[in-house]
Amino acid sequence: MIASRSRVAIGSSSSPITTTFFFTSSTRRDSTKTPLVERTARSDDALREASDTLLDRARKGDARAFEDLAREVERPLFRLALRMLGQSADAEDVVQDALLAAWRSLGSFEGTSFRAWIFRIATNRALDRLRARRRRPESPLDPPLGDDDVIWSEPSAPGPELVDIAGDREALVVVETALATLPPEQRASLLLRDVEGFAYEEIALITTAEIGTVKSRIHRARLAVRNALVAKGWQGPAG
């Protein structure tokens, strides 16, 4: 198995801590196939309290605490970036850029949700890369993901279509293809809502758009996905 490695140095310049993140095919599968029971093993309140404690320590310069925060969001960030960009190498770069930017500006962070903040940084990085691609010849995208890698199989907070197609591999491939054709802002909004489970208000902050615009983007994206499914003869879940 081939693993790519990214190293991010955090901490003071005199004694930096170098964090190494490994991205392998199994890591990517793990980020999309985590059993739902594991996600709900701890209450939301307990998870929030633990993250708040780490965030408070990281704000005070505790690099180890920031590493723990980074590990909580690394895989979902990669999942989002990969679906936005279609290339593993670019997705890895976006995750590392976002984490490093977050560490460098953590002292000025005044919000309460580290997760929403880091997703905002990563989403903007991904959108910037997509805009840059328009100004130069496109690089080939990675081959379509295998069945075990399709991110829609177990979304964190599935939208209406995703609930119905969760066990339908052919439908998942159709969704994957439809997703790649969406305008970047629609794609990001749909992923943030139906895969990562953010509220409309959070997505508005992440994408710096009005809530009405966010809802419109998600509606249009869901409609495009639904139309793609219908065009392939999908008639909804069996039974």
How much of the chain exceeds pLDDT 90, in percent?
A: 45
**What per-residue confidence (pLDDT) applies to 34?**
33
pLDDT in tens, 125-166: 999 999 888 765 555 454 444 444 444 434 444 455 554 565
Residue 182 in this model has a pLDDT that exceeds 90: yes
Same domain, 167 and 77: no
Q: What is the pLDDT of residue 136?
A: 58
How many C-beta neighbours within 10 Å does residue 86 have? 21
Q: Which of 221, 195, 220, 192 is nearest to 204 (CA)?
A: 192
Question: Span 170-175, mean pLDDT?
Answer: 81
Domain end among 143, 160, 175: 143
With pLDDT > 70 as the criterion, what percentage of the chain qualifies?
A: 63
Domain boundary among 86, 110, 143: 143
Task: List the alpha helices (DSSP H) in 106-157.
Answer: 114-134
Burial (Cβ within 10 Å: 0-12, 13-18, ≥19) of residue 221: buried
Instruction: Check residue 169 and give its pLDDT.
Output: 76
Q: 91 and 39, same structural domain?
A: yes
Closest-CA residue to 82 (of 145, 36, 132, 139): 145
pLDDT of 201 above 50: yes
Mean pLDDT of the chain: 75
DSSP 144: P
| pLDDT value, residue 230 | 87
**What CATH number did the domain enclosing 15 receive?**
1.10.1740.10
32-81 pLDDT tens trace: 443 222 333 344 555 566 788 899 999 999 999 999 999 999 999 999 99
pLDDT of residue 183: 94
Residue range of the domain that includes 127: 1-143
| Residues 43 and 106 placed together within one structural domain of the fold | yes
> Which residues are paired to 5 by β-bridges?
22
**154 and 202 both lie in a single domain:** yes
* Spatial separation of the C-alpha atoms in residues 199 and 100, rounded to whole Å: 25
What is the domain count for the chain? Answer: 2
Entry pTM: 0.73
Which has more pLDDT, 130 or 17?
130
What pLDDT sits at residue 173?
82
Residue 63 identity (one-letter amino acid):
A
